[in-house]
C-alpha cells in the first residue's frame, strides 16, 4: 500500500496565511482522560421503529482549573450523546428545546427529506417547545453529525456546544474485520478550538470574525490536553472537524501512518495510508492506526501542524496480525443524465463579501430545482483570489455526492468514497456527481460557519416530476430574527447576530 506524505491542498491557501489566523497554543493544563460521549439510548424499540428523545440543554463543564465553562449540548452538558442508527430503521425523534432561544436539529450527512426532517433553518424548535419528526435511514455505513442550524445563528450555537456524532451502521460494514467496539477501539475524535476568557468562559461576540471564529486552545471531545489509553493494537478514529473555521493538518509521532478507511458518507473503496492529512470544516475521516510497533509505557501523539492534540498511552494489548482488507466497498455511482446540463456554482469572497453565485442566501427563496433519482454533474468553482484566497468547504444537505475531478485531474486519493463536504483551493473547479433519493428543500453552502451565516449559502428544491408540485411554507429571515429579538428582550434594531453584519455591509437583503 502506497503511503502519501503531503497534505494535498495548496499551501498558500492554508488558514495559517489568513490575516486573522489564531495559532493553536500547547496547553499547560494537566493531561486529562479523553472524554468519550455516551451512546444515545432509545426510549423504546418496536421492530425497525426506534424512538428517541433529544434535548438541547444548557450545562457546564470543568475544562480548565477554576470555574466550570458554561456550555450547551444535546442530552449532555456539552456536545452530545452519540446516536447509532442501523440502515433500514425508521427513526422517531421527540426534539425538545430547553435553551433560552430557538434552535434547530440538523442531521448533517443523513439522506432524509427536507426541510423539516433534515432540521435546517426552516424547522425551529422554540424555547420550552418540542417537535416530532420521523425518517427512514437508507444509506451506507458512515459517520455523520447532529448540529444546530438556525440562520444566521448557526455559528454561535455550534460554538456554544450543539454538536454530536450520529453513526450509521450497515450489514456490509459489519462483515469487515474493522475495529468497532465503541469507546475501546472505535473512538470519536471531535476537533474544535476555543478562546477562554475571564473565569474560563467563552465570549463568541468578543471573538467574532466574519471569516470564522478561532481560538488558541484545542478541544478534543470537549477535553483540553487529552490522553487515551490504548488497549488494542488497532484503533479506529472517527475524526470530525467540528470547528467553526479551523482546518487541522494532522500527523502522528514517528510519522506513524493514518490509514483512512472512510470519508464523509461511505467507506472508501480501498484503504489509503497517509502520514499527513488535512481535514476541513465539517468533514469526517475514519482512520485505523496500528500501534503494533510500540510497547507498554510508550506514547504516540496526534498533532495539528506542530501543536499536540491527543496523546495515545500504550498499554498491554493482544497482538493482532489480521491485515486490513485490501478492498472495502464496491461503490455504485449512477451515470450523469445526458439531458441535464452541468450545474455551475460559484463560491466567492472573504469576510462580509462571501456569496454563492453572486448573491447572499435568502431563506424563502428557491435558487435551483432538480428532479430526484436523476444524476447531474455540478461544477463548483472557488473564484476567491483576494489576498491569496482561502479554502472553502462546500457542503450539500440531503445527499452524498461523488467527487470526479479537481481542475480536470483526479480527486485526492482519500476522496474516492461518497462525500457531502468537498473543499476547494482558490481558483479551483471541482466537479461532482449529484443525485438525490429523497425530495424536499435543501441547502448547499460553505461550511465555515460564519460564512454560511453571512449568506454564503443557497437552496434547492428536489422534486418528484410524477407528482404535483409541493408548496413549501418556508420561514423567512425576518420572522426568525424577530423570534431571536423577542427571546432576548431587545428591539430588532438592537439585535446582534454575527451574520447580520455581512448583509448590512454588502447592502443586501436578508
The pTM of the full predicted model, rounded to 2 decimals, is: 0.97
The Cα 192–Cα 240 span in angstroms is 9
Asked if the bond preceding 323 is cis, omega within 30° of 0, the reply is no
* Tens-level pLDDT at each residue, the chain (510 residues): 899 999 999 999 999 998 899 999 999 999 999 999 999 999 999 999 999 999 999 999 999 999 999 999 999 999 999 999 999 999 999 999 999 999 999 999 999 999 999 999 999 999 999 999 999 999 999 999 999 999 999 999 999 999 999 999 999 999 999 999 999 999 999 999 999 999 999 999 999 999 999 999 999 999 999 999 999 999 999 999 999 999 999 999 999 999 999 999 999 999 999 999 999 999 999 999 999 999 999 999 999 999 999 999 999 999 999 999 999 999 999 999 999 999 999 999 999 999 999 999 999 999 999 999 999 999 999 998 766 789 999 999 999 999 999 999 999 999 999 999 999 999 999 999 999 999 999 999 999 999 999 999 999 999 999 999 999 999 999 999 999 999 999 999 999 999 999 999 998 888
C-alpha pair distances (Å), 335 with each of 329, 372, 373, 402, 413: 18, 14, 11, 11, 21
H helix and E strand count, the chain: 6, 34
Give CA–CA dist 332/342, Å, rounded: 21
What is the rounded CA–CA span in Å between residue 465 and residue 455?
Answer: 30
Q: What is the spatial distance between Cα 54 and Cα 169, in angstroms, rounded to a whole number?
A: 20
Q: What is the pLDDT of residue 384?
A: 82
Extended strands (E) in 123-200: 130-136, 142-147, 163-169, 186-194
Residue bearing cell 472537524 = 241
Q: Do you find a cis peptide bond into 271, omega within 30 degrees of 0?
A: no
Q: How far apart are CA 172 and CA 193, in angstroms?
A: 35
The pLDDT value given to residue 387? 64
- Residues sharing a CB contact under 8 Å with residue 123, sequence separation 6 or more, in sequence order: 104, 105, 115, 116, 117, 131, 133
User: What is the rounded CA–CA span in Å between residue 113 and residue 84?
Assistant: 19
- Cα 207 to chain centroid distance, Å, stands at 21
Q: What is the DSSP letter of 193?
A: E
| Angstrom distances, CA of residue 76 to CA of 144, 153, 305, 387 | 18, 21, 31, 41
Q: Which residues contact 243 (CB under 8 A, 6 or more apart)?
A: 191, 192, 193, 214, 281
What CATH number matches the domain at 3-12+179-314, 2.60.40.420, 3.10.20.30, 2.60.120.10, 3.40.50.12280?
2.60.40.420
Domain ranges of the chain: 3-12+179-314
Predicted pLDDT of residue 84: 98
Query: 314-336: buried (b, 16+ CB within 10 Å) or exposed (e) per residue?
Result: beebeeeeeebeeebbeeeeeeb
Predicted pLDDT of residue 15: 94
DSSP assignment string, 112-129: --TTTTTTSTTS-B-TT-
State how far the Cα of 442 lies from the Cα of 458, in Å rounded to an integer: 9
Spatial distance between the Cα atoms of 109 and 168, rounded to a whole number of angstroms? 10
Q: Where are the alpha helices (DSSP H) in 280-321?
A: none
Amino acid at each position: 500500500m502506497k503511503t502519501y506524505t503531503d497534505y494535498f491542498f495548496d499551501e498558500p491557501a492554508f488558514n495559517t496565511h489568513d490575516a486573522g489566523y489564531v495559532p493553536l497554543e500547547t496547553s499547560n493544563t494537566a493531561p486529562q482522560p479523553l472524554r468519550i460521549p455516551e451512546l444515545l439510548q432509545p426510549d423504546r424499540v418496536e421492530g425497525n421503529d426506534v424512538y428517541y428523545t433529544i434535548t438541547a440543554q444548557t450545562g457546564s463543564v470543568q475544562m480548565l482549573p477554576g470555574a466550570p465553562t458554561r456550555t450547551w449540548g444535546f442530552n449532555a452538558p456539552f456536545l452530545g450523546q452519540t446516536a447509532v442508527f442501523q440502515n433500514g430503521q425508521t427513526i422517531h425523534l421527540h426534539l425538545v428545546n430547553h435553551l433560552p432561544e430557538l434552535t434547530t436539529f440538523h442531521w448533517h450527512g443523513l439522506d432524509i427529506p427536507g426541510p423539516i426532517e433534515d432540521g435546517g433553518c426552516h424547522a425551529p424548535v422554540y424555547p420550552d417547545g418540542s417537535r416530532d419528526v420521523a425518517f427512514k435511514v437508507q444509506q451506507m455505513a458512515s459517520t455523520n453529525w447532529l448540529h444546530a442550524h438556525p440562520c444566521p445563528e448557526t455559528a454561535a450555537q455550534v460554538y456554544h456546544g450543539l454538536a454530536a456524532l450520529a453513526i450509521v451502521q450497515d450489514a456490509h460494514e459489519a462483515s469487515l474485520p474493522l475495529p468497532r467496539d465503541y469507546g475501546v477501539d472505535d473512538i470519536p475524535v471531535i476537533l474544535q478550538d476555543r478562546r477562554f476568557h475571564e473565569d474560563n468562559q467563552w465570549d463568541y461576540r468578543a471573538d467574532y470574525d466574519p471569516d470564522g471564529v478561532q481560538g488558541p486552545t484545542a478541544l478534543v471531545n470537549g477535553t483540553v490536553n487529552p490522553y487515551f489509553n490504548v488497549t488494542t493494537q488497532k484503533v479506529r478514529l472517527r475524526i470530525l472537524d467540528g470547528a467553526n473555521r479551523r482546518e487541522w493538518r494532522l500527523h502522528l509521532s514517528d510519522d506513524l501512518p493514518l490509514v483512512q478507511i472512510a470519508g464523509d458518507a461511505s467507506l472508501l473503496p480501498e484503504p489509503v495510508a497517509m502520514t499527513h492529512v488535512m481535514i476541513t470544516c465539517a468533514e469526517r475521516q475514519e482512520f485505523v492506526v496500528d500501534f503494533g510497533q510500540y510497547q507498554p509505557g510508550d506514547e504516540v501523539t496526534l498533532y495539528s501542524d506542530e501543536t499536540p492534540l491527543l496523546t495515545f498511552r500504550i498499554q498491554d494489548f493482544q497482538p493482532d496480525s489480521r491485515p486490513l482488507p485490501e478492498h472495502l466497498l464496491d461503490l455504485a455511482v449512477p451515470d450523469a443524465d445526458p439531458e441535464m446540463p452541468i450545474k455551475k456554482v460559484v463560491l466567492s469572497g472573504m469576510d462580509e463579501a462571501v456569496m454563492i453565485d453572486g448573491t447572499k442566501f435568502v431563506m424563502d427563496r428557491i435558487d435551483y430545482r432538480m428532479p430526484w433519482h436523476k444524476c447531474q454533474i455540478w461544477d463548483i468553482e472557488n473564484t476567491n483570489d483576494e489576498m491569496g484566497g482561502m479554502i472553502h468547504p462546500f457542503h450539500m444537505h440531503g445527499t452524498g455526492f461523488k467527487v470526479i475531478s479537481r481542475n480536470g485531474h483526479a480527486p485526492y486519493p482519500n476522496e474516492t468514497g461518497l462525500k457531502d463536504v468537498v473543499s476547494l483551493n482558490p481558483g479551483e473547479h471541482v466537479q461532482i456527481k449529484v443525485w438525490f433519493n429523497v425530495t424536499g428543500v435543501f441547502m448547499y453552502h460553505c461550511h465555515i460557519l460564519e460564512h454560511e451565516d453571512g449568506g454564503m449559502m443557497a437552496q434547492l428544491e428536489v422534486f418528484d416530476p410524477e407528482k404535483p408540485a409541493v408548496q413549501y411554507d418556508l420561514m423567512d429571515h425576518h420572522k426568525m430574527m424577530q423570534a431571536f429579538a423577542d427571546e432576548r428582550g431587545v428591539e430588532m434594531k438592537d439585535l446582534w447576530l454575527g451574520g447580520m453584519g455581512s448583509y448590512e455591509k454588502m447592502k443586501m437583503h436578508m
